[in-house]
Structure 1
Amino acid sequence: MSVTSARPLLLLTVNTAPERARRLIPRVLDNLKDRYSIVHAANVARISDVEAVVEAVQPDVVCCASMWSKEEVAEIHAIAKKLVPNVKTTFIPHGLQVEKGPDAVVEFLTEEFPKLLDA
């Protein structure tokens, strides 16, 4: 079952390499466009900026890139859930981009988003 909504789902990425997010996320969203309407609303490059951007964007999904440690991911997700309790959160496994490259990230997120959104 896919998620339907009157408005697109808003995605916030947390990635210290915003240009990478701008290149890879459209590929993921294109892969999922038949099932979901998702807009990449913003990227945050620093944990210290997460609160302000989450408050401004009110995202439906927060996705942390693979450079963050488990502790940093937990902190980012806690900040998001404090402000938007129903936000869905996910993360790219630590080191996936470095170890397997951008195609592996796109493949991972293309598989992960439906699990997350249909749960």
Structure 2
Amino acid sequence: MPDTRKGPFKLVTVNTAPDRAKRIIARMIESLSDRYDITHIDNCSSIDQVVAKMQQHQPNILFSASMWSPEEAREIRDIAERERPGIMTHAIPQGLQAEGGPDAIVEYLLENVPPLLDSVEL
């Protein structure tokens, strides 16, 4: 039977807590696995790593975590788009992890990622 999931999507995150990013994204990927083929291929622990990771992995999605200010998230997005034109980016709202914990992040991603992925033609 053919795979009817959309993808594959290669995801890079920008998060100063790489282990937490890995756990949260794994929960999102598992929850969406019936509809999307998503692989979390790497994490940038600082903004300085974004250029190298874009060049190394050529991802088609980048998420910036909630510890970044709106200005930092915009800088991350601009770098990603410059290095990988057409990349889908999404900034998790600043403070969401601190206010709601990992469950709030997963819930937020499950609401916001499907429309993002459905908006693209592969």
**TM bucket by the smaller chain?**
over 0.9
Distance apart, 1:118 and its partner CA: 1.0
Q: Distance in 2 between matches of 1:31 and 1:86?
A: 25
Partner of 2:118: 118
Partner of 1:27: 27
- Give aligned-pair identity as a percent: 48
Partner of 2:6: 4
Distance apart, 1:23 and its partner CA: 1.1
Structural RMSD (CA): 1.2
Q: Write out aligned runs for 1:49-68 (5 A).
A: 49-68=49-68
Partner of 1:43: 43
Counterpart of 1:4, as a letter, is K
Q: Distance in 2 between matches of 1:45 and 1:33?
A: 26
Count, aligned residues:
116
Q: Which protein has greater RCO, CA pairs closer than 8 Å, 6+ apart?
A: 1
On the 8 A contact 2:5/2:34 being kept in 1, the answer is no
Q: Distance in 2 between matches of 1:34 and 1:16?
A: 29
Counterpart of 2:37, as a letter, is S
Partner of 1:18: 18
On the 8 A contact 1:3/1:118 being kept in 2, the answer is no
On the 8 A contact 1:16/1:46 being kept in 2, the answer is yes
Q: Write out aligned runs for 1:66-105 (5 A).
A: 66-105=66-105
Runs of 4+ off more than 6 Å: none
Counterpart of 1:66, as a letter, is S
Distance apart, 1:3 and its partner CA: 6.6
Q: Distance in 2 between matches of 1:117 and 1:3?
A: 11
Counterpart of 1:68, as a letter, is W
Counterpart of 1:43, as a letter, is N
Q: Distance in 2 between matches of 1:69 and 1:86?
A: 23
Q: TM-score, normalised by structure 2?
A: 0.91
Distance apart, 1:22 and its partner CA: 1.3
On the 8 A contact 1:54/1:83 being kept in 2, the answer is yes
Counterpart of 2:77, as a letter, is H
Structure 2 gaps, min length 5:
none
